């Protein structure tokens, strides 16, 4: 078997094992949360028999190991269970499946992340390449100063600054990103401008600096020195010789930041009241909706693991020592 395929299969297997371990951590962490859903719904005046019957109805009286494997087996099939949010003390059950709750919210989050990535990734690569091309120039120092300032500023503070400037002082964009399935594409893009801009400012800074560092690190290699001695121009050295060998670290940086777009979007969604999966998870934690919390956390973990796995595979495929073994 080819070394590249062998290494990729090992990475995929490691990713599956990691996801199973993370699912166990998610389930146990949620199960260890203080308080009880039955008591929070029925109230403190409820008798122990009533609470026990309510827990039995929800399946919370079963051993944790059995509940975990039942949940994991159903999650593999795409069934995350039924939300607790529709249940009430009166016995009326208006709960919905977790998949029906998560699906539209996940689409909204992926839409916001996709629009942000379309803007942020090319912009970060261009800034990183030009900063490395004109290293130690005024342009390089200015870009580094701006990106360092952005990195040092929490994303929620960036969001509030943008709301102050572009929604309050100069009312150009709405401060609340309220959208639904019937919102037209143009209106949807207009309403998510501020959250997308917030995420763009945050991840461009990280990607730009890591791209610049990867290029500069390669510029110290012997083959780059040989290209200089042959009379290659600075732009030719970076674009033709350094950039192809920098794709592996750059792909890793892009994967990390794309994972942040989906996983770390929670704060931005809460600030702008954006109906994404992050906002759904916060609401579910507040109401102790355990199945929804577990599903959102598992989706976040799977997204992070898959994107990092893709970055590893890109790094493996772009490694000439594996592509051309002796």
Residue 163 located in a structural domain: yes
- Residue 12's CB is within 10 A of a number of other CB atoms, namely 13
Q: Are residues 126 and 223 in the same domain?
A: yes
Q: Are residues 245 and 282 in the same domain?
A: yes
pLDDT digits (tens, 9 = 90+) for 40-54: 666 666 677 777 777
- For residue 178, give the DSSP letter: -
Q: Give the pLDDT score at 1.
A: 66
Residue 94 located in a structural domain: no
Confidence at 92, pLDDT banded by 50, 70, 90: very low
Q: Are residues 220 and 274 in the same domain?
A: yes
**Rounded average pLDDT over 63-67:** 82
Q: Are residues 306 and 165 in the same domain?
A: yes
Residue 88 located in a structural domain: no
From 49-53, 68-72, 141-145, 221-225, the region with the lowest mean pLDDT: 49-53
Q: Are residues 110 and 60 in the same domain?
A: no
Residue 90 located in a structural domain: no
Give me the chain's average pLDDT, please: 80
Residue 82 located in a structural domain: no
Q: Are residues 64 and 107 in the same domain?
A: no
Q: Are residues 177 and 29 in the same domain?
A: no
On the question of pLDDT at 25 being above 80, the answer is yes
pLDDT digits (tens, 9 = 90+) for 112-171: 888 898 998 889 888 888 888 788 888 888 888 888 888 888 888 888 898 999 888 888
Q: Are residues 106 and 174 in the same domain?
A: yes
Beta bridge partners of 142: none
- For residue 166, give the DSSP letter: I
On the question of pLDDT at 6 being above 50, the answer is yes
Query: Where a domain ends, among 15, 42, 76?
Result: 76
Q: Give the pLDDT score at 320.
A: 58
Question: Domain tally for the chain?
Answer: 2
The contacts of residue 110 (CB under 8 Å, 6+ apart) are 262
**Rounded average pLDDT over 76-96:** 66
**Rounded average pLDDT over 77-92:** 66
Q: Are residues 50 and 111 in the same domain?
A: no
Answer yes or no: pTM beyond 0.95.
no
Residue 93 located in a structural domain: no
Burial (CB < 10 A; 0-12, 13-18, 19+), residue 5, is: exposed
Distance of alpha carbon 239 from alpha carbon 255, whole angstroms: 21
Return the structure tokens found at 195: 């959250």
The answer to whether 67 touches 59, Cβ cutoff 8 Å, is yes
Which domain covers residue 18, as residue numbers?
3-76
DSSP 261-289: HHHTTHHHHHHHT--SHHHHHHHHHHHT-
């Amino acid at each position: 078997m080819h070394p590249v395929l062998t290494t990729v299969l090992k990475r995929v297997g490691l990713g599956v094992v990691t996801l199973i371990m993370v699912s166990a951590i998610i389930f146990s962490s949620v199960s260890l949360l203080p308080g009880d859903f039955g008591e929070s719904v029925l109230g403190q005046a409820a008798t122990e028999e009533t609470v026990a019957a309510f827990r039995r109805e929800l399946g919370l009286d079963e051993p944790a190991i059995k509940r975990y494997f039942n949940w994991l087996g159903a999650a593999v099939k795409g069934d995350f269970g039924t939300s607790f949010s529709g249940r009430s003390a009166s016995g009326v059950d208006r709960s919905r499946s977790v998949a029906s709750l998560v699906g539209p919210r996940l689409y909204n989050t992926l839409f916001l992340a996709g629009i942000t990535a379309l803007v942020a990734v090319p912009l970060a690569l261009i800034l990183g390449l030009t900063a490395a091309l004109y290293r130690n120039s005024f342009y390089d120092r200015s870009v580094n100063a701006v990106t360092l300032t952005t990195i040092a500023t929490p994303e929620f503070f960036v969001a509030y600054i943008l709301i102050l400037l572009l929604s309050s002082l100069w009312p150009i964009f709405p401060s609340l990103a309220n959208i639904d399935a019937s919102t037209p594409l143009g209106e949807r893009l207009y309403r998510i401008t501020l959250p997308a801009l917030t995420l763009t400012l945050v991840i461009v800074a990280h990607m730009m600096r890591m791209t610049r560092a990867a290029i500069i690190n390669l510029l110290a290699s012997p083959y780059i020195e040989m290209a200089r001695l042959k009379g290659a121009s600075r732009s030719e050295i970076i674009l033709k010789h350094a950039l192809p060998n920098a794709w592996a670290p750059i792909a890793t940086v892009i994967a990390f930041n794309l994972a942040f777009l989906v996983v770390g979007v929670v704060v931005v969604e809460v600030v702008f009241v954006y109906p994404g999966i992050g906002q759904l998870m916060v609401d579910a934690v507040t109401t102790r909706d355990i199945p929804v919390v577990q599903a959102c956390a598992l989706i976040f973990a799977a997204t992070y693991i898959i994107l990092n796995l893709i970055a590893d595979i890109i790094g493996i495929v772009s490694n000439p020592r594996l592509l051309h073994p002796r």
